[in-house]
Amino acid sequence: ELKRIHQQTGTTFLFVTHDQEEALSMSDRIAVLRDGRIEQLASAQEVYLRPSSSFVADFIGEADLLACVRRDGKTAVIEGINHPIDVEVPFEGPRFRLVVRPEHVQIFKAKQASRFPGKIAGIRFEGATSLYHVQINDRTTVKSRTLGAPMSGLSIGDDVWIEISGTNVVLPADAAHGGGN
């Protein structure tokens, strides 16, 4: 109803909510506040796809913050896994954090060069989607979201192969500082 009134009147609205889905669907622009200060002010799509900080990434939608080590200028290696992810690292420093959304993590049953191993730690059917928790090393679990019912033949404890494309990861501005929240 508010969206319709806004379109009819052209009046600027300030709508305060902690409901992320509501904020993303209703807003032309979103201001994410942290301790009373604006952490990011941008379109809903910009805030979701290119969060300015680890705090924003974690606050808007689901995200995994992966501790990484720089291999060279364009390659990151997730700590504890010797598997490269091609990503432009625009700052100095050996360690940083990548933001990865569950819809950008793919699960496969077969090994390929672009994939790294994991073990299914949890499966949750959510109606239109299914959410997997995949253990990729001793300390790190990533989430993967797929459309529809859980993949046939996958159970908790199964070994799988994970693929994360470098084009689907984000390095927020605070990534070089470990992305501390």
8-49 pLDDT, tens digit per residue, is 888 777 878 888 888 888 888 899 999 999 999 999 999 998
pLDDT number for residue 122: 97
pLDDT number for residue 73: 67
DSSP states of the chain: -HHHHHHHH--------S-HHHHHHH-SSEEEEETTEEEEEE-HHHHHHS-SSHHHHHHSS--EEEEEEEEETTEEEETT---EEE----S--SEEEEEE-GGGEEEESS--TT-EEEEEEEEEE-SSEEEEEEE-SSS-EEEEEEESSPPTT--TT-EEEEEE-GGGEE--TTGGGTT--
pLDDT number for residue 141: 94
pLDDT number for residue 43: 93
**pLDDT tens digits for range 130-172:** 999 999 988 889 999 999 888 888 999 999 999 998 788 887 8
Q: Is the pLDDT of residue 93 over 80?
A: no
Q: Is the pLDDT of residue 121 over 60?
A: yes
pLDDT number for residue 91: 66
Confidence of residue 82 (pLDDT cuts 50, 70, 90): confident
pLDDT number for residue 171: 79
Q: What structural domains and CATH numbers belong to the chain?
A: 1-49 (no CATH), 50-177 (2.40.50.140)
Which has the higher per-residue pLDDT, 64 or 13? Answer: 64
Structure tokens at 45: 């799509």
Distances (CA, A) of 157 to 40, 129, 137, 138, 143: 39, 20, 14, 14, 15
Which has the higher per-residue pLDDT, 116 or 4? Answer: 116
Which has the higher per-residue pLDDT, 90 or 114? Answer: 114
Distance from C-alpha of 76 to C-alpha of 96, rounded to nearest angstrom: 9
Confirm whether pTM is higher than 0.85: no
What percent of the chain stands above pLDDT 70?
94
